[in-house]
Structure 1
Amino acid sequence: MIGILVIITLSWLLLYLIEKKQILVLGLLPFGKRLIQFFIGFLITGILCILTQYLEAYLKSANWNLNEHITGNIILRSFWWDVKSVLTEELIFRGALLYIFIQKMGSRKSILISAIAFGIYHWFSYGVLGNLLAMILVFIGTGLMGYAWAWAFSKTKSIMLPFGLHLGWNFFYNTIFSKGPLGEVVLTLKGGTELSDWASLLNFISGLVLVPILVIIYVYYFVKDESEMNS
């Protein structure tokens, strides 16, 4: 939590020193509208995560089972971990720096820079640096997702929609389906067989390629550009 407070403080300083703006330009207001955007994003990626995880179970002929040792406290601690990690990444990649870049260079270049930086960052957070194939796959998946979330920030002029999109995926992926670094949380995958090469490719495409493309389509067609609305 201290790290988040430090990032918020640095974000405020950057915005004030470079753009003479307050941190509210990251789109926290009007709160009701932003909260709706957050929950819409959360539901969209949450549903997409559910679909991809059940596709994996189908391909493996496996089943998702409730963790017998799960408690409410474990779920809350895992959810809070998701919130902190997502908020940290959003403040870094879709916060003050992206806002400043958009003001200086325009949306297109800024969104692309944010997406590339997000993809490269995950080489380190996923621990794949040096494994060329893994680096390419991680860069494609997280870069595309970073592009979708940065575009959502640019169109809404708010961090709340990308925050919801990001948290929806991470919460279901890490906490509900126990795919994160916290180990078994709510559901565990039991039984089944190893995926064949083609099934593995299909599983990869659905999770790391198709999902961000669907989010990009959603942002393109269904998210209103607030700069055009206010012009």
Structure 2
Amino acid sequence: MIGILVIITISWLLLYLIEKQHILALGFFPIGKRLKQFLFGFLITGILCVLVQCLESYLTSSTWILNKDITARIILKSFWWDFKSVMTEELIFRGAVLYILIQKIGSRKSILISAIAFGIYHWFSYGVLGNVMAMILVFIGTGLMGYAWAWAFSKTKSIMLPLGLHLGWNFIHNTLFSKGPLGELVLISKGGTELTDWASLLNFTSGLVMAPIFVIIYVIFFVKEETETK
């Protein structure tokens, strides 16, 4: 939490020194509208993540069972961990720096820069630096997601929709399906067989390519372009 406060402070300073703006320029208000965007984003990527996990379960003939040791306290603790990690990344990649870039060089270039930076960042956070194939796959998947979320920031003039989109995916992936660094949480995968080449490719494209493409389509056609108010 201290890290988030530090990032907010630095963001505020950057916004003030470069654009004469304050932290609210990142679009936290009006509360009702932004909360709706956040919740809708959470729902969209949450559903996409469930569909991807169901496809993987079907392809591998595996099943999901409820973790008998799970408790509400563990779920809330995991949610808080997901929220902090997502909020940190959003403030860095879809926060003050992206806002300033958009003002200086326009949306298209800024969104692309944000997406590339997000993809490269995950080489380090996923620990794949040096593994060329893993670097390519991670860059494609996280870069496309970063592109979708940066575009959502640009269109809504707010961090709240990308925050919801990001948290919806991470929470369902990490906490509900136990695919994150916190270990076995709500559901545990049991059984299954190793995927063939074609099935493995289908599974890869569904999670790392098709899911962010669906989010991009949603942002393009269903998210209204907002006018920034200063």
The TM-score normalised by the length of structure 1 is: 0.98
Cα distance per residue 1:114-148 (max 9 Å; x no partner): 00000000000000000000000100000000000
Residue 41 of structure 2: aligned partner: 41
Q: State the Cα deviation string for residues 3-29 of structure 1 (Å, max 9, x = none).
A: 000000000000001100011010000
For 1:140 and 1:62, the matched residues in 2 are separated by: 26
For 2:134, the aligned partner's letter is A
Counterpart CA distance in 1 for 2:57 and 2:68 is 19
1:196 CA drift (Å): 1.1
Query: Per-residue deviation at 1:68?
Result: 1.1
Residue deviations 1:97-118 (CA, integer Å, cap 9, x gap): 0000000000000000000000
Matches within 5 A, 1:80-159: 80-159=80-159
Query: Which residue of the partner structure matches residue 171 of structure 1?
Result: 171
Aligned to 1:79: 79
Q: Return the alpha-carbon distance in structure 2 between the equivalents of residues 26 and 194 of structure 1.
A: 45
Over 3 Å off, 4+ runs? none
State the number of aligned residues.
229
Tell me the SS of whatever aligns to 1:226. Answer: coil
Aligned-partner Cα distance in 2 for 1:129–1:192: 29
SS of equivalent residue, structure 2 residue 227: helix
CA–CA distance in structure 1, aligned partners of residues 78 and 196 of structure 2? 32
Q: Distance in 2 between matches of 1:105 and 1:42?
A: 29
Mapped to 2, the partners of 1:192 and 1:173 lie a distance apart of 18
Percent identical among aligned pairs is: 79
Match of 1:4 in 2: 4
Structure 1 residue 198: deviation in Å? 1.1
Distance in 2 separating the partners of 1:147 and 1:227:
20
Aligned to 1:201: 201
Structure 1 unmatched runs, 5+: none
Q: Distance in 1 between matches of 2:117 and 2:16?
A: 23
Paired with 2:33 and 2:76, the residues of 1 have a C-alpha distance of 26
TM-score, with length taken from structure 2? 0.98
RMSD, matched Cα: 0.9
Between the aligned partners of 2:13 and 2:188, the Cα distance in structure 1 is: 44
1:57, distance to aligned residue in structure 2 (A): 0.4
- Tell me which amino acid in the other structure corresponds to 2:211: V
Cα distance between partner residues in 1 of 2:227 and 2:117: 25
Following superposition, the deviation at residue 195 of structure 1 comes to 1.0
Is structure 2 residue 32 aligned with structure 1 residue 24? no
Q: Distance in 2 between matches of 1:34 and 1:227?
A: 14
5+ residue gaps, structure 2: none
Q: Once the 2 structures are TM-superposed, how far is the Cα of residue 227 of structure 1 from its aligned partner?
A: 2.4
